[in-house]
Structure 1
Amino acid sequence: MSRSRLTPEREAELFDAVLDLLREVGYDSLTMDAVAARTRASKATLYRQWHSKPELVTAALRHHSGPGADRVDTGSLRGDFQEMMLRVDDCQLEKDSALMRGLTLAVNTNPDLLRVLQEKLIEPEQNELRVVIDRAVARGEVRTDNPAREFVPHMLFGAFFALQMIEDRVPNRDFLTRYIDAVVLPALEAR
């Protein structure tokens, strides 16, 4: 990404508009023209900053995700997971679930989107989560050789999609807390 001449406030405004448009029209119908019109920015500015629609969408998602999981350190793995849950309210979880379902469909026909999402959003978030798990290992809560360690991102991300498919509802903080206590922590044999 080229050096930003946008203020952090203006960037946040652009990212909010991108996510709102994504929720309204979906990825395939989202255009740089629509973003430019919604934000009263020039298309040239958008392309100069982000080069492509996948780059802009991913930057908006990354910005929206807030501080990384690796910045959470309560002294216990369960406490870290609970602290991560407190960062998002149930209304935001519902919005995010709808957004992620839409993007999941979009990556099937947009390989550039998938590549950029993996590179700039998914891999960094997995790395942040590894830091949290590695700290739990260092504290003696999780065994170094526990094979479930590599599947924590799959378990956590999977909860969002499975609940929708199985029960036709989106996860809330209560569900995610119970899921972590019943599935993730036992799989890790966290003490």
Structure 2
Amino acid sequence: MTEVAAARRSRFTAERAAELYAAVRELLGEVGYDGLTMDAVAARTRTSKATLYRQWGGKVELVVEAMRHTKATSAVDLDTGSLRGDLDALLAHDNESSMEETSSLMRGLAMAMHHHPDLRRVFIERIVEPESEEFRRIMRRAVDRGEIRADNPALDHVLHMMVGAIVARGLLENLPPTREFLRGYVDAVLLPVLAA
């Protein structure tokens, strides 16, 4: 995120920004990305459209920040002493309701990104790349602790496996990912592959 954007956003209190991000996510759930307008956000949040543009620059930035705001913790803060513990702690920070909401919104945004390259670019820059780096940091710590061999070829695919499990849960079973499902996946698939 640029310093200019951060400075613009600083005029909103954390509580007010959280309310606004929640409203944006509600609107995304109701009308999807294409149906969401800055006018609708302004009306829902009783904020002037000019203020929204001044604070966030536009719809793409506002939507991405609203999605980024749902992330409860950073992997930088998680170091339980084991890979299993780190992954479990990462999963424990999201409640079932927020996981279901985020999963549903992400399905819609994934489709929108195919038609809106600017949304895809900003989403990758502000959410995918930082979260991927945090996940890689967890893996590096596990390698440093000797839990995973540094030359394990599965290391390059861990993030793909986790994302794949989340997507497949919705696609194959029409169910949201839950902590129980993801913990089971970690124990049955991810950890055995990494221990090989």
TM (normalized to structure 1)?
0.95
Percent sequence identity is 54
Q: Are residue 52 (structure 1) and residue 58 (structure 2) matched?
A: yes
Q: CA RMSD in A?
A: 1.3
Which runs of structure 2 are paired with 1:169-188 in the superposition (5 Å)?
Answer: 169-188=175-194
Structure 2 counterpart of 1:151, one-letter code: H
Paired residue secondary structure (2:134): helix
How big is each residue's C-alpha offset from its partner over 1:125-169, in whole Å with a ceiling of 9 and x where there is no partner? 001111111111111111111121121211111111111112222
Name structure 2 gaps, 5 residues minimum: none
Which runs of structure 2 are paired with 1:1-191 in the superposition (5 Å)?
Answer: 1-3=5-7, 4-189=10-195
How big is each residue's C-alpha offset from its partner over 1:18-69, in whole Å with a ceiling of 9 and x where there is no partner? 1111111111100111111111111111111111211111111111112212
Name structure 1 gaps, 5 residues minimum: none
Q: CA deviation at 1:5?
A: 1.0
Q: Distance in 2 between matches of 1:6 and 1:53?
A: 17
| Number of equivalent positions | 190
- Which 4+ residue blocks in structure 1 deviate beyond 3 angstroms? none
TM (normalized to structure 2)?
0.92
Q: 28-37 or 151-160: which moved more?
A: 151-160
Q: Distance in 1 between matches of 2:40 and 2:75?
A: 32
